[in-house]
């Protein structure tokens, strides 16, 4: 049986190394060399596993059953109404206060020639867990390739119709966690549309808007700082970016969603997914009160979460992608974080 503090490592020939723990499948570090071979840990978090277990439980964790928000915690399937916990003001966030980030996943080595090294993480969520219908069996593969791709593959099945949206919640700082903010790092998104938010609703309004002429326009690369500093109502609501982007050309196949790069170290990462959306979050709630890696305070905009997903509140928005999983179906989701070295 895996324990909360059990540590697992994936390593390839190029010295890329991913470390995670049993609780939440939480990624606690990703070491990546730059072009000169100088290695930095590119995910925001704590120095020790003890601190990780006691601290912000979303750092690098697997989120579910429904990552992101469900408005008022309510949804309906086949005429049956469900009420989830509202653990984020008036809304439900990341599967509730005892979400998958908080669970101890069963971890075992996963043998396949697709990866340099891989692990399988499994979890069974009981019928009614966090008030979601159906028993949900989830398997997540964490795999590292010799091409410096950290691959996350999700598979899930349910015994009753339910809703599902699994994601991974690592905050990336390509210069290295603890070296300051990501304001000077570049972001490019394969997204000409996004889903605007409202302060009153606390998440998406249901609108799908063009990014053109807004701070949300990352079609051409620009710095995260430029967007965060923009005089734009959408930025003001969340003091940065905390938005879902609609991936262009979505067809259920793996495609480029985002590219992030750090001009100082030259480190670059591409994100690929088969999901319709990606939540970009600048970590605006970090206030420097916690000490993280390199003994530095975890400050506002210290990292960028790039969470591949179905859209927020999809269960209540007819025109958003489907988030309902039925017993005869299998939920599948792949996300690739590829480090360009
Ligand atoms: C959400 C943020 C939320 C954070 C919690 C992100 O996925 O987009 O709004 O504050 O998770 O860690």
Q: Is 285 in the pocket of ligand 1 (CB under 6 A)?
A: yes
Condensed to tens digits (0 to 9), the pLDDT of residues 41-79 reads 999 999 999 999 999 999 999 999 999 999 999 999 999
Atom of ligand 1 nearest to the CA of 242: 8
- For residues 253 and 45, what is the distance between their CA atoms, to the nearest angstrom? 31
Atom 9 (ligand 1) nearest CA: 242
Other C-beta atoms within 10 Å of 128: how many?
11
Q: How many residues does the chain have?
A: 341
pLDDT on residue 26: 98
225, 208 Cβ separation under 8 angstroms = no
Residue 228 lies in domain: 7-340
Task: Work out how many domains the chain is built from and give that number.
Answer: 1
Rounded to the nearest angstrom, the distance between the alpha carbon of 124 and the centre of ligand 1 is: 24
DSSP classification of residue 146: T
Residue 1 lies in a domain: no
Q: Which residues contact 228 (CB under 8 A, 6 or more apart)?
A: 183, 235, 239, 240, 241, 282, 301
CA distances to 84, 195, 203 from 199, in Å: 21, 13, 7
Q: Is 279 in the pocket of ligand 1 (CB under 6 A)?
A: yes
User: pLDDT over 70 for what percent of the chain?
Assistant: 100
Q: Rounded mean pLDDT of 304-331? A: 98
- For residues 60 and 52, what is the distance between their CA atoms, to the nearest angstrom? 10
Residue 211 lies in a domain: yes
Condensed to tens digits (0 to 9), the pLDDT of residues 275-295 reads 999 999 999 999 999 999 999
Rounded to the nearest angstrom, the distance between the alpha carbon of 281 and the centre of ligand 1 is: 7
Residue 2 lies in a domain: no
> For residue 220, what is the domain's CATH number?
2.70.98.10
pLDDT on residue 27: 98
Q: List, by residue number, the catalytic residues.
A: 169, 307
Residue 92 lies in a domain: yes
- For residues 339 and 33, what is the distance between their CA atoms, to the nearest angstrom? 9
Q: Is 34 in the pocket of ligand 1 (CB under 6 A)?
A: no
Q: Is 242 in the pocket of ligand 1 (CB under 6 A)?
A: yes
Residue 235 lies in a domain: yes
Residue 109 lies in a domain: yes
């Amino acid at each position: 049986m895996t324990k909360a503090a059990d540590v697992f490592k994936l390593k390839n020939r190029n010295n890329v190394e991913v470390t995670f723990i049993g609780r939440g499948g939480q990624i606690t570090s990703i070491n990546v060399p730059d072009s000169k071979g100088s290695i930095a840990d590119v995910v925001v978090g704590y120095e020790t596993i003890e601190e990780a277990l006691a601290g912000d439980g979303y750092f690098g964790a697997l989120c579910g059953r429904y990552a992101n928000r469900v408005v008022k915690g309510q949804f309906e399937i086949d005429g049956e109404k469900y009420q989830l916990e509202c653990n984020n003001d008036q809304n439900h966030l990341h599967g509730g206060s005892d979400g998958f980030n908080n669970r101890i996943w069963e971890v075992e080595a996963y043998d396949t020639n697709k990866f340099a090294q891989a692990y399988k993480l499994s979890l069974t969520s009981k019928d009614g867990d966090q008030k979601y219908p159906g028993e949900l069996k989830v398997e997540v593969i964490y795999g590292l390739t010799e091409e410096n791709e950290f691959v996350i593959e999700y598979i899930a099945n349910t015994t009753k119709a339910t809703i599902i949206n699994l994601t991974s919640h690592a905050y990336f700082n390509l210069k290295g966690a603890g070296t300051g903010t990501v304001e000077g790092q570049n972001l490019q998104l394969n997204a000409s549309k996004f889903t605007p938010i409202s302060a009153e609703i606390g998440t998406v309004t249901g609108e799908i808007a063009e990014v053109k002429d807004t701070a949300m326009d990352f079609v051409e690369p620009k710095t995260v700082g430029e967007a965060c500093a923009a005089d734009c109502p959408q930025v003001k609501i969340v003091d940065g970016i905390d938005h879902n982007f609609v991936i262009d050309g979505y067809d259920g196949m793996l495609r480029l969603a985002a590219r992030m790069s750090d001009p100082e170290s030259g480190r670059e990462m591409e994100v690929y997914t088969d999901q319709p959306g990606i939540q970009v979050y600048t970590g605006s709630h970090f206030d420097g009160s916690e000490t993280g890696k390199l003994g530095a305070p975890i400050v506002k905009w210290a990292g960028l979460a790039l969470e591949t997903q179905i859209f927020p509140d999809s269960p209540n928005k007819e025109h958003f992608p489907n988030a309902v999983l039925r017993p005869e179906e299998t939920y599948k989701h792949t996300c690739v974080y590829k480090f360009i070295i």
